[in-house]
Amino acid sequence: MSELIAIFFSMALVNNMVLVKFLGLCPFFGVSKKTSSAFSMGIAVMLVMLVASAVTWPLFHLLLVPYGFEFMRTVIFILVIASLVQIIEMSIKRTNMTLYNALGIYLPLITTNCAVLGITFINIDQNYGFAASIAAALGAGVGFTLVLLIMSGIRERLDLADTPKVFKGAPIAFLIAGLLGLAFLAFGGMVG
């Protein structure tokens, strides 16, 4: 249990998906202008990460490994993730329209998001068991949402600040992301 908690915090803070592993940067700079959309995007990504990890782990360890097909993981994983996202989007759209309008529109973006595929690869590379994979996916999702929220809050205020003209927009956002990463370094020794 303590190992699971350690993995959770490690993925959420110490090895944060966005700031340390550089995964999920496109939505990070694209969706993080408003806090409400940032939160919806974060929750949607976390959901997909959880489902993807839950499905790809047994697929890898029970189907690919015993028959020596580890090299097929990239293709199989991406196929599975794409189909899963499609089904999730369909389910939400048909059953709960309010939820769909809140976060369903981000789901197609998440299919090609490196964060989702990244977490499935990390689960394999780190040799996590099933429970550990779920904990890692949860941690990664929470970390992603956290950073996205912080970034959107800062960017909302950044709009009003007196930024030099050449830095307005993407450059200053990158610099702020760097500073944020620097701050997250403080979590370094947290998970022993």
Partner 1 sequence: MSTTILAVILLSSVGLIAGIAIFVANRILPKEDASLQKANEIKERLPGADCGACGKPGCFAYAQAVAKDVEILDDSPCRILASDEDATQALGEYLGIDLSNAGPGSKAVVHCTGDSPRIGSYSGVQSCAAAVQVGAGEKECPYACVGYGDCATVCPVNAISIDGEKNIAVVDWETCIGCGMCVAACPRGLIELIPVETPQYLGCNYQAAKDIAGRKKCSVGCIHCRICVRSSENGEVEWDDKKDLPQFSETLATNAIEKCPRKIIIKTSAHPSDNDPENPPKD
Partner 2 sequence: MKSLIKTLSNGILRANPTFILLLGLCPTLAVSTSIDNAFGMTGSVLFVLLAANVIISILRRWIPDRARIPTFIVIIATLVTIVDLALKAYVPSLSKSLGMYVPLIVVNCIILGRAEAFASKNNVIHSIADAVGMSVGFGVAILLISFVRQVLGSGKLEVFNVQLFSIPGLDSNPAAIFLLPMGAFFVIGVLLALFRWMGVSECE
Q: Does 100 bind partner 2 (CB under 8 A)?
A: no
Q: Does 173 bind partner 2 (CB under 8 A)?
A: yes
Q: Which does 90 bind (CB under 5 to 8 A by kind): partner 2, partner 1, none?
A: partner 1
90-119 positions binding partner 1, by CB under 8 A: 90-91, 93-95, 97, 101
Selected binder of partner 2 within 67, 125, 161, 162 (CB under 8 A): 125
DSSP state of 12: I
Nearest to 103 by CA among 49, 145, 41, 52: 41
For 104-122, b/e burial (b = at least 16 CB within 10 A) is: bebbebbbebbbbbbbbeb
Q: Which does 161 bind (CB under 5 to 8 A by kind): partner 1, partner 2, none?
A: partner 1
In sequence order, what E strands does the chain have? none
Q: Given phi > 0 = left and psi -120 to 50 = alpha, else beta, which region is 22?
A: left
Nearer to partner 1 among residue 25 and residue 93 (C-beta): 93
Residues making contact with partner 2 (CB under 8 A): 19-26, 29, 71-75, 78-79, 82, 111-114, 117-118, 121-122, 125, 164-175, 177-182, 185
